[in-house]
Chain A
Amino acid sequence: MATLAAGCAGPGVMESDAEASVTDFYAAVAARDGQAVCDLLLPDAADALEQDAGAPCATAVVEDPQVGPALAHRAADATVSEVHVSGTQAQVVTTSDTVFLARSGDRWIVTAAACTARPERPYDCEVEA
């Protein structure tokens, strides 16, 4: 049944892939590589970011006065502590963030980042679709 939870590949593989995507995502944020950050984002989330910031995604994730510092702050301490994979969706908890991902094709992409928990409601995320 554990295999069903994660799809064809073993659950360990799916979890480590999701973890790797978050590690890459925050490594790109720390390196201020906006394009690499946006390549790892759900296209709808990148579009929403562009609309809110009024700038291309690659610029917004680094320079937007709200999103840029929110991501940079979390990138400073992005040690992964928990990974949950359920089917095509995943949640990776780091020391400073809760990141949501979705399986698209053969890779995990970030659907929401810089998230804050709210009781009984969805997380409030600086980056989301």
Chain B
Amino acid sequence: MTRGVPATRLPAALKVNSLSLFFGLIFLLSLVAQAFVGTAYFNREQLSGGLRPVGVGDYVLSSSYWVDVTENWQSEFLQFLLFILATVWFVQKGSPESKAIEKAGRESDKDQKVGRYAEEDSPAWARAGGWRLSVYSHSLALVMGAIFVGSWLAQSVTGAVAYSEEQLRNLQDPVTWTEYLALPEFWSRTVQNWQSEFLAVLAMVVLSIYLRERGSPESKPVGTAHEATGVEG
């Protein structure tokens, strides 16, 4: 029990944030697990080469660790970025992941509750108009896009170092960052992640037309017709 938080309020605070807390927790556990198994994997190579093993602390500061982390991050954020943007214009009849067919596009100010249609509890920048409204209207895609670009850039930098490390281990010359960007290794790491993300989105969009998970907002209510679009459970 955290000191200073009333006993009756803590469970409520946990409950209303349980989705974020759950994913935050399993994210951290996975990241730590990756650090440990990654160290074990890396040390197999060290030992087979007659070298001393490295500690987890050294490994989590290595490019070998971060290229594996960031290549997955960039593809996940690209997936959600594309999903956010594509669902503005593209629709899928029957899918709860799609909005209603007739709502394709940016929608009216009234639908979006901006400008003079803003409500009392609308975010301040939604009521503000001008450049603040423009920025806020795209803030989700902007931030997701920035994380995607940043992660991909980090993948390229750490990937160049990790690739050079492997080259040197095999008595070959290291590569520069710009040379690495033109190598199949960089694009293989990138595209192999993209394809799996796009397949997962496609599966969600299409399977949720016909299949249900009772109680999940990612599914239509169990008894809803297959043709119903833009309905979440």
Please report A residues at the B interface, Cβ cutoff 8 Å: 1, 3-5, 7-8, 42-45, 84, 86-91, 100, 102-105, 109, 111-112, 115, 117, 121-123, 125, 128-129
- Chief secondary structure at chain B's binding surface: helix
Interface centre among B50, B61, B158 (most CB of A within 10 A): B50
- Would you give the shortest CB distance from B152 to chain A, in whole angstroms? 13
Given A1-B154, A8-B58, A43-B50 contact (CB < 8 Å): yes
Q: Which residues of A contact B58 (CB under 8 A)?
A: 7-8
Q: Mark B159-176, 1 if CB is under 8 A from A, else 0.
A: 001101101111111100
Question: Across the interface, do A102 and B61 meet the contact criterion of CB distance under 8 Å?
Answer: no
Question: Across the interface, do A89 and B168 meet the contact criterion of CB distance under 8 Å?
Answer: yes
Which B residues, 167 to 225, have Cβ-Cβ distances below 8 Å to chain A? 167-174
Q: Which residues of B contact A91 (CB under 8 A)?
A: 168, 173-174
- Chief secondary structure at chain A's binding surface: strand
Given A86-B164, A86-B165, A44-B63 contact (CB < 8 Å): no
- Would you give the shortest CB distance from A107 to chain B, in whole angstroms? 10
Interface centre among B51, B54, B64 (most CB of A within 10 A): B51
Cα-based distance from A97 to B23 in the complex (angstroms): 53
Question: Across the interface, do A88 and B51 meet the contact criterion of CB distance under 8 Å?
Answer: yes
Question: Across the interface, do A90 and B158 meet the contact criterion of CB distance under 8 Å?
Answer: no
Which range contains the number of B residues in contact with the other chain?
Answer: 20 to 34
30 contacts between A and B (CB under 8 A): A1-B157, A4-B61, A4-B66, A4-B161, A7-B58, A7-B62, A8-B57, A8-B61, A43-B50, A84-B168, A86-B161, A86-B162, A86-B168, A86-B174, A87-B63, A87-B161, A87-B164, A88-B51, A88-B54, A89-B165, A89-B168, A91-B173, A91-B174, A102-B51, A111-B171, A112-B171, A117-B173, A122-B171, A128-B171, A129-B49
Q: Which residues of A contact B171 (CB under 8 A)?
A: 100, 111-112, 115, 122-123, 125, 128
Interface centre among A4, A7, A42, A111 (most CB of B within 10 A): A4
